[in-house]
Amino acid sequence: VGYSQQEGIDYDETFAPVARIEAICLLLEYPAHKDFTVFQMDVKTSFLNEILKEEVYVGQPSGFVSKQYPDHVYALDKALNGLKQAPRA
């Protein structure tokens, strides 16, 4: 989905939620000072559960085109993986 989007047509800007190095150092220094154990986790579906703030439409995927409505497009309610708008949702 995201690979076929064109800047200025399908989206205006992109956004990558990245923490500053100072925030990461602070986050690790405090538990080290207090002798706490630090755990890590990765939420692989975090972008998939976000509600989009703008209207996004997608075409029917090849192999799943409706014979009754071949020209229909679908409005997305939630973000898809790879969608340019996903990190901002």
- Give pLDDT tens digits for 32-72: 999 999 888 777 776 677 788 888 888 888 888 999 999 99
Q: What is the pLDDT of residue 3?
A: 59
Say what the pTM is: 0.50
User: Is residue 1 predicted with pLDDT exceeding 60?
Assistant: no
Cα–Cα distance, 49 to 80 (Å, whole number): 9
Q: What is the pLDDT of residue 34?
A: 94
Q: How do residues 74-83 score in pLDDT, each as one tens digit?
A: 998 888 777 7
As given in the structure block, the two tokens for residue 42 are 């990765």
Indicate the burial class of 56 (C-beta count within 10 angstroms; 0-12, 13-18, 19 or more): buried
Cα–Cα distance, 76 to 47 (Å, whole number): 13
